[in-house]
Each structure stands twice: as structure tokens, then as C-alpha cells.
Amino acid sequence: MSENQATFEAIARREKAGRKAAETLLESKSRELYNKHVELQKNAEQLKYANSILSGIMATVPDSIVLCTSDFVIKGVNKAAEDLLNVDGTDIHGIHVDQILSGLSGRLEALPQGHFLFEQEQVEPRERHKIPVEVKGYKGPVGSDIHYLLVLNDITIRLKSEKARTQMAQQIDEARRLEAIGALSSGIAHEINTPIQFIGDNLDFLVDGLQKIYRSYANFEALRKAVSEAGILDFTAEVQEINQYNSDICLESLVAEIQDALTESREGIRQVRDIVLLMKDFAHPGTGDDDETDLNIVIENVIKICRSRHKNIADIKLHLDESLPKILCRKGQVQQVLLNVVINAIDAVADTPSGYGRIRIQTTHDDNYVSVLISDTGTGIPDSLRQKIFDPFFTTKPVGKGTGQGLALAKDCIIKGHDGKLTLVDIPGYATTFLICLPIQNQLLTNLHGDVENADAA
């Protein structure tokens, strides 16, 4: 073999090897391209499916979704938003968000990035009345830019339900007041009847006394007339008659008694007036707003209302903090709670073997809250029942005497309605003590132990 032939064969072998390597590489790259193509097709199908699902979700989700740019221009809405706003997506695309939610952009701009919630806004649909909505949302990057994602939820039905619940709560409060009035009605009737009775007796006495005074005056007139007509004639008989009559009726004493009767009648009228005013104040449903309230006065009024109930049953002693600050509360509800607890205390004392005992009511305060401690020497509450007494419909009273709602509603009023606390505490010398705490400045009460210790020491 010549040298040239050997060289050509070597070159041919190298070219053949290179072609084979190229073919192998081409085959490998082709395979990779095919796999990539298959993967791209798969991804495209998945993306298409995802877009289909997302479109389906956006079309069927009940909440209205609005997407805005960082300068508050609406870029897209879903079907629910179109229905809520009474527009087509093309009509709303590109308008400013304030055109549907007045003034919203200013509040959105002031928010940090992240999720947010506006509990009640007014959306303005085309050619419709404003609709109350809750606005939940997200401020932050969506894709490469900052966007605002707004989720609008029509709360018209919820607001109506809340209004209905509020009305029902007011009706329950009124029913509780009427129930308490019914329980106290016989005693109140007695409280009113007593002063009315002695007012009537005094008026009868005044009528009789005035008749006697008139007769005395008439005798005097007869004497005067006789003297006038007779000149210096003897009128000893008339004088004796006047003296005898005046001696019989004791005119000076009669006038004093009339004065006493008038004073007593005025006092009786005042008592009736006070009782009527207290009952009117207690039965009044109130406005539902917070009133500036002096709890000491409320407690004194409650005791006056219960006077006939606790007479001959419980000796009630008040230890009221004269420096107790006024608080903002729903006066009617708090008054109802205090009345329920005091009536329970009276009933507990009445159920003791002696049927008589003591009730102590104390008010105290610190920088955060005012508290009322109501203690009684009644039958007490067993440890096994202490966790149940605030449960709805639980009662230790006989059938027909208690509904088991008083303490449950009282705790709901104090805790949920006033951010306060109603609990049982132990005070030496008493079987049961309820502690009621109400915040002075609408703050949650967290530490009651110190006040309880002070109450124990007192």
C-alpha cells in the first residue's frame, strides 16, 4: 500500500468516525428536541387546562373579583363582579376604581403590602342603588407589577340579619324586664298601696277635721252675730257653747294633726312618684347606646325596686365607693343584670332553714375598671355546679320558679356586651359572692385578683 493510499484511508476512517459521532449527536439532540416538544405540548395542555379551570373558577365564584393596577385602573373583573356592578367586562375595563367604590383609592394607597379588609363599603352599580359590600383584598406584586386584587362580597342580607338579631336581642331584653316586673309586681303593688292607703286615710281625716273647724267657726259667727244684734245683751250661753265645743275638739291639736296629715300625704305621694319613676326607668327599653352611668345610683334603685321582695327576708347592707367613677355602659342591661343577681340572692336567703339572712353589696374601682360584689348568706352553690350555673337553661330552682336564663344572659351582657367579667368568688362569711366588673374606658379586664383580695379584706 502506498503512503498516499494509507493517508487517504486514515482520513476516510476519521471522517467516517466523525460522521458517525455527528449522527449520534444529531440523533441525541433530535431525541432531546422531541422530548422538549412533547414536554412543551404537555405543559401547553396543562396551561390550557389551568387557564380553563381558572376561567371556570372566575366565572362561577360567588364573590366579585376586581383587579386593579398600581394607579387604580381596573384591568379585569369576573362574572360575579359584572353582575354586581351591572356592567360588561369591556365596559368597566380601564376605568378608575373610585368610580365604583368612592374614595377607596386613597385608603388603598396608604396600606402596606399584604392582605387587607374593609368591613363595610358602598359600591355604586350602574343604574342601581348603592349596595353595602365587604372588601377583602391583596396589595402587592401580581406578575411583575404591583396590583390591587379586590374581592367584593354583598353584605345586604348579613346586615339585615344583624339588624334582625339586634331587634331580637332588644325584644329579649324587654321580655326580661317584663319578667322581672312581673315577679316584683305584687310587692310593688303593696309598696304603692301602703302610701296610697294612708294618703286616703289622711284625706278622710282632713275632710272631718275641716268640718269640725267649720262648725267651730260657725259657732263663733253665731256669737258674733248675737253680740252685734243684742248690743250689750247677755251672751253667756253662746260663749259656753263655743268653749265646750272647742274643748271637745281641741282646736290647736286638730290643726297640728291636719298639718301632720298633709306632710305625711305629701311624703306618701313622693314615695308613689319615686316608685313609678323607677319602674318607668326600669321598664324603658332604652336606645341601645352607651350612657354615662353611676353604678351606685343604679344599685340604690335596684334595692328600692326589690324592697318588698327582701323585706323580712334579707338585711341588705350597701358599701358603696363614693369616689366610684361614672362609666359608659348600656344602663338598662346592667340594671337588669344587677336585679337578676340581687333577686337570686334574696331567693337563696329565703331558702335557708331560718328564712332570713344578710346580703352585702360593695362597689370598688381602680384605674381600669369598676367592680360590684354581691354577697349573700343563702344556701350557696355546690362546687360541682359552679361551672354550670352560667349555662343556658340550667337552674337549681324548683320547676316553675326559674328558667335558667338569668345568669346566662347576664354573663353574655357583661362579657360580650361590655368587655367585662361576671364570675363567682369566695368572700369569708358569705355563702355566695358574684363579682361583676365593667371597664372604665372600654378596655378588656385582665387582672381581677387584687380587687377580690381587697373585697375579702373589707
CATH class, range 61-154: alpha beta
Phi first, then psi, for residue 414 (nearest 5°) are -70, -45
Strands 369-376, 291-293: pairing kind: unpaired
Q: Which amino acid is at 180?
A: A
Return the residue matching grid coordinates 369576573.
Answer: 78
Segments making up each domain of the chain, as ranges: 1-59, 61-154, 160-283, 291-457
Phi first, then psi, for residue 371 (nearest 5°) are -135, 150
Q: C-alpha cell of 408?
A: 346566662
pTM score, whole prediction: 0.46
Cα separation, 225 vs 59, in Å, equals 112
| CA-based nearest residue to 281, from 181, 401, 404, 381 | 181
Q: C-alpha cell of 373?
A: 360584689
**DSSP state for residue 398 in the 8-state scheme:** P
**DSSP state for residue 367 in the 8-state scheme:** S
pLDDT of residue 403: 41
Cα separation, 392 vs 7, in Å, equals 108
**DSSP state for residue 415 in the 8-state scheme:** I
pLDDT of residue 166: 74
Residue burial 271-288, b: 16+ Cβ < 10 Å; e: rest: bbeebeebbeebeeebee
Beta bridge partners of 142: 145
DSSP 3-state helix, strand, coil percentages of the chain (rounded to 5)?
55, 20, 25
Q: Which of helix, strand or coil describes residue 387? A: coil
Cα separation, 121 vs 263, in Å, equals 63
Domain spanning 291-457: which superfamily? Histidine kinase-like ATPase, C-terminal domain (3.30.565.10)
Decide: residue 147, CB within 10 A, 0-12 exposed, 13-18 middle, 19+ buried: middle
- 364's CB contacts (< 8 A; 6+ apart) are 321, 324, 370, 371, 373, 451, 454, 455
pLDDT of residue 151: 92
Q: What is the pLDDT along the chain (458 residues), one digit of tens a residue?
A: 566 777 777 777 777 777 787 778 878 878 888 888 888 888 778 777 766 766 666 666 788 889 999 999 998 888 888 888 888 867 788 889 998 888 888 888 888 999 999 988 888 888 788 899 999 999 999 877 889 999 999 888 888 888 887 777 667 666 666 666 666 665 666 667 677 777 777 777 877 777 787 777 777 767 766 765 665 555 567 667 766 776 777 766 777 787 787 777 777 777 777 767 766 666 555 555 567 889 999 899 888 878 777 778 899 999 999 999 999 888 878 888 888 889 889 988 998 999 899 999 999 998 888 999 999 999 888 887 777 777 655 565 544 444 445 677 777 778 777 888 888 899 999 999 999 999 987 543 333 334 434 444 44
- 177's CB contacts (< 8 A; 6+ apart) are 282, 283, 285, 332, 336
DSSP code string of 336-360: HHHHHHHHHHHHHHHTSTTS-EEEE
Reported as type and span, the H/E element at residue 292 is: strand 291-293
Would you say the CATH fold of 291-457 matches that of 61-154? no
Q: Which amino acid is at 14?
A: R
Tell me if 343 sits within 8 A of 180, measured CB to CB.
Answer: yes
Cα separation, 437 vs 275, in Å, equals 28
